[in-house]
Amino acid sequence: MNNKDFININYLKHGNKKQQNSYKVLKALDIFNVLRKFNPILVGTIPINIDIENSDLDIVCEVYDFKEFQKIVEDRYSMFSKFHISNNSTDNETILTVNFYVEDIEIEIYAQSLDSCKQNGYRHMVVEDRILRLGGERTREEVVILKKNGLKTEPAFAKHLGLDGNPYDELLKLEEYSDKKIKDMLDNIRNS
């Protein structure tokens, strides 16, 4: 179903200029080695080539010991510009977000007690990658235009596909769709 191994960032070495630069930054930070215990995965727009000028590098992590995680990221990355940790916890779930800048690129790490591949950031990216593969360059260009016009990624995909409701929830429903059903949706957009 997925052509790209998103678990290993080596694919960035052979990508576009921004992907190659992202690879160098991530390798210089040694962030995937430092956080390996937390199953880090790069998610978002850069891996699937729909980034715009101010797109950041998003990393999801599977964390059960938040004190240990926080100590590791503080020890290794707190010296970077605009380093900040936010606690976005709810009654049922702990979520930490770590932000900092390296070479004018924002790094944003999401930590929650859930398998990295089951986190919404990863799941959205996989669905979006599939839509882009099925829709081709034209779909990619149209989504990027929507993003440049101010929409976030998931709302841009939802608008392009004509999905109603919460764009984040609606995109996840497409995980269950066959390639043919998604391709039909894309064809209907082109023919309308």
Residue 159 burial (C-beta neighbours within 10 Å; 0-12, 13-18, 19+):
middle
Residue 26 CA to residue 163 CA, distance in Å, equals 34
- Which pLDDT belongs to residue 128? 96
pLDDT in tens, 113-134: 999 999 999 999 999 999 999 9
- Which pLDDT belongs to residue 77? 97
User: Over 50: is that where the pLDDT of 2 sits?
Assistant: no
Residue 12 CA to residue 19 CA, distance in Å, equals 5
Q: Between the ranges 2-6, 22-26, 51-55, 102-106, where is the mean pLDDT highest?
A: 22-26
Residue 69 CA to residue 136 CA, distance in Å, equals 39
Q: Which stretch of 31-35, 159-163, 171-175, 185-189 has the lowest confidence by average pLDDT?
A: 185-189
* Token pair recorded at residue 113: 């007690």
Residue 127 CA to residue 91 CA, distance in Å, equals 28
Tokens 């990658």 belong to which residue?
129
Please tell me which residue, 107 or 189, carries the higher pLDDT value: 107
For each of the domains in the chain, give its residue range(s) and CATH number, in order of start. 9-114 (3.30.460.10), 122-191 (no CATH)
Residue 152 CA to residue 146 CA, distance in Å, equals 8
Mean pLDDT computed over 90-103: 91
Nearest to 58 by CA among 72, 74, 47: 47
Question: Partners of 100 in the beta sheet?
Answer: 107
Global model pTM greater than 0.75: yes
pLDDT in tens, 51-64: 998 889 999 999 99
Distances (CA, A) of 163 to 127, 154, 167: 14, 11, 7
Please, which pLDDT band fits residue 1 given cuts at 50, 70 and 90?
A: very low
Q: What is the DSSP letter of 16?
A: -
Nearest to 102 by CA among 73, 79, 86, 121: 79
For the beta carbon of residue 15, count every other beta carbon within 10 angstroms.
17
The helix/strand/coil state of 164 is: coil
Mean pLDDT computed over 70-85: 97
User: Over 90: is that where the pLDDT of 44 sits?
Assistant: yes
- Which pLDDT belongs to residue 190? 77
- Which pLDDT belongs to residue 3? 52
Give the 3-state DSSP-derived string for 49-71, with helices as H, strands as E and coil as C. Answer: CCCCCCCCEEEEEECCCHHHHHH
Please tell me which residue, 96 or 89, carries the higher pLDDT value: 96
Q: What is the DSSP letter of 46?
A: T
